[in-house]
Structure 1
């Protein structure tokens, strides 16, 4: 029976606790930690846990915790993760992995040195539409990918950035490019690999209580000449999110849709219903996951600890996602086209370099300590929606 600790009792902690409770025969939540202990006590009561509650996570470092979920703000991910890895615990850390590539490298090294599992939350990989899209893409039936379109559309009210740590480059680390599109960027890298060049723009068009962007657009060039476009936003009403791949033979996407064309003698398209049917049949034959979202990723991490098999989303995956995000911030802030990978002497490799060089849109003039407990959105299911 694995002993679990939840570090950070904010809104996202519920997804972790509920995930662990799906596997009561394999693990038990034995500790909760939050800077505001009353929040941890509330979670303990909400889920009927027999768990120790502490204010400082360091009180748990010698308690023989097997697996820790780090659910704190991004600026604290690296210190807590490294401390627990060094104390002999495995770690599942919320997105984004850290505030800088320098911190990511230190986390990865701590996991390697201690022989422990380090996984970064990217629960959308564990949703049926994304998993099935990946398998269809890997089948090659759509042909080589020529263009990718990723719409990470979210909407957040002005007061969203009133929370004391949100909307600051130092504490939150960025806006929707980092904290919302991170899931879509992870999926894009998983499916298509790393681009070689990035050109980006960003702005803050609706949240003058935040230093960070609320809208960014990035253009991506891949080594084989394929192009991509990525929009990250918290100003899009309806929050309609999609990932579209235009292959040489067919278009496939999440939400699921397939369209295929062949050429008439004059070069104009005619629908290829036969290929569409073949690709759609493949998609429909793919089995559903036994679990989805956080529960599925927790199952994956538990299995890795139990069997020694690798996790689907490791520290290197989390780092790659942050590298592309930092490349977007660098391009948007400097106006330059950025080549990947980013070197260790790049200004955007460290938190300090980011702070010195990234665009600050506004200064926070006030803040609140906490919001009242409310449900949050943890990612689109990518299911097709009726118009």
Structure 2
């Protein structure tokens, strides 16, 4: 029976707790930690975690022989907390974004390798039927070589969203919608396309003057094979209509799922390729649904890796790649440069201090609240429809 600790009792911790509780025969939540212990106590009571220890300082758990830790704290805590638990012999599942800088990502990966422990970064959108199936369709190459990718990471957050004390600051949250909302779409894009070689981007803050960070960004990408991509990251889009489209040489496929294929007439104009559309539709429909989805599926993946010694789907290297692309978007948008990837360790944006010094600060955060009243959080589900 694997012993689990939840570090951070904010809104996202519920998804982790519910995930672990689906595998009661394999693991047990034995501890919860939060800077505000009453929040941890509330989660303990809410989920019936009888016997679980509640602490304010995570370091009180380092000697408790915890097998796996879910780090659900604000981003600037991710690296120190993860590294301390990895050095203490625990496996770590850390929420997105992986860390506040590439330097911290490298330190986390080094700690995991040194201690022979698993470091997995939450990217629960990969563990959904539409994205898993879309990935399989792309890997089949029926759609042909990908020529263009379009990512609409559209969310909406009210002005008061950034009133929370750690949100909306480069130091504590590490960025705005590009880092904290589009991160899942960017992870999925890299999973399906690989890393681009060039990035040109713009960003702005158009509706949240209580935040230093961006609430809207647009990035253009160029991939090694000449394919192009574009990512729009936003918390100002009503309806939160999220979309990922891949235009292949033979067909267009997307999440939410849709397939369209064209063949050429003698004059070069398009004609619907019904045979290919049916072939791709059949492949998609015959792919098995996942046994678990979302956080529960990723937790199952991590538990399985611990039990068997196998790899996890999303490791520290993968989490770092996602942050590298996001960092390159911030660099391009702040400097106006066309950014070349990979980013070197001597790049000014490699460290958290360098990023804070060089990135655009839109507004200064003049006031804040310690906590919001407990409310259900809403999350976009557009990619999971159809």
Task: Name the TM tier (shorter chain).
Answer: over 0.9
Do 2:162 and 2:210's aligned partners in 1 also have CA atoms closer than 8 Å? yes
Specify the alignment match of 1:65 in structure 2.
Answer: 66
Question: Cα RMSD between the aligned structures?
Answer: 0.7
1:234 Cα deviation after fit:
0.1
Specify the alignment match of 2:201 in structure 1.
Answer: 200
Distance in 2 of aligned mates of 1:195 and 1:5: 36
Residue 147 of structure 1 aligns to a residue whose secondary structure is strand
Specify the alignment match of 1:329 in structure 2.
Answer: 330
Per-residue CA deviations over 1:122-143 (Å, capped at 9, x if unaligned) read 0000000000000000000000
Distance in 1 of aligned mates of 2:91 and 2:381: 28
Where do 1:108-123 residues align within 5 Å? 108-123=109-124
Residue 270 of structure 1 aligns to a residue whose secondary structure is strand
Do 1:200 and 1:218's aligned partners in 2 also have CA atoms closer than 8 Å? yes
Specify the alignment match of 2:24 in structure 1.
Answer: 24
Distance in 1 of aligned mates of 2:280 and 2:335: 42
Distance in 2 of aligned mates of 1:119 and 1:331: 28
Do 1:129 and 1:381's aligned partners in 2 also have CA atoms closer than 8 Å? no
1:274 Cα deviation after fit:
0.5
Residue 170 of structure 1 aligns to a residue whose secondary structure is coil
Residue 367 of structure 2 aligns to a residue whose secondary structure is coil
1:365 Cα deviation after fit:
1.1
Specify the alignment match of 2:378 in structure 1.
Answer: 377
Do 1:37 and 1:54's aligned partners in 2 also have CA atoms closer than 8 Å? yes
Distance in 2 of aligned mates of 1:383 and 1:78: 31
Q: Does 1:340 align with 2:341?
A: yes
Do 1:198 and 1:219's aligned partners in 2 also have CA atoms closer than 8 Å? yes
1:253 Cα deviation after fit:
0.3
Segments of 5+ residues of structure 1 without an aligned counterpart are none
Per-residue CA deviations over 1:181-221 (Å, capped at 9, x if unaligned) read 00000000000000000000000000000000000000000
TM-score (norm. length: structure 1)? 0.99
Where do 1:28-177 residues align within 5 Å? 28-50=28-50, 51-177=52-178
Per-residue CA deviations over 1:270-291 (Å, capped at 9, x if unaligned) read 1000100000000000000000
Distance in 1 of aligned mates of 2:38 and 2:385: 40
Q: Does 1:230 align with 2:235?
A: no
Per-residue CA deviations over 1:10-69 (Å, capped at 9, x if unaligned) read 000000000000000000000000000000000000001020000000000000000000
Specify the alignment match of 2:369 in structure 1.
Answer: 368
Distance in 2 of aligned mates of 1:229 and 1:377: 26
Q: Does 1:255 align with 2:256?
A: yes
Tell me which moved more, 371-380 or 283-292: 371-380
Segments of 5+ residues of structure 2 without an aligned counterpart are none
Specify the alignment match of 2:296 in structure 1.
Answer: 295
1:329 Cα deviation after fit:
0.1
Residue 347 of structure 1 aligns to a residue whose secondary structure is coil
1:381 Cα deviation after fit:
5.2
Q: Does 1:185 align with 2:186?
A: yes
TM-score (norm. length: structure 2)? 0.99
Count of residues in Structure 1 that have an aligned counterpart in Structure 2: 385
Residue 231 of structure 1 aligns to a residue whose secondary structure is strand
Residue 382 of structure 1 aligns to a residue whose secondary structure is helix
Distance in 2 of aligned mates of 1:288 and 1:166: 36
Do 1:145 and 1:245's aligned partners in 2 also have CA atoms closer than 8 Å? yes
Distance in 1 of aligned mates of 2:384 and 2:296: 19
1:378 Cα deviation after fit:
4.2
Distance in 2 of aligned mates of 1:307 and 1:379: 33
Distance in 1 of aligned mates of 2:88 and 2:336: 43
Per-residue CA deviations over 1:332-374 (Å, capped at 9, x if unaligned) read 0000000000000000100000000000000011100000111
Per-residue CA deviations over 1:73-113 (Å, capped at 9, x if unaligned) read 00000000000000000000000000000000000000000
Residue 203 of structure 2 aligns to a residue whose secondary structure is strand
Residue 76 of structure 2 aligns to a residue whose secondary structure is helix
Specify the alignment match of 2:306 in structure 1.
Answer: 305
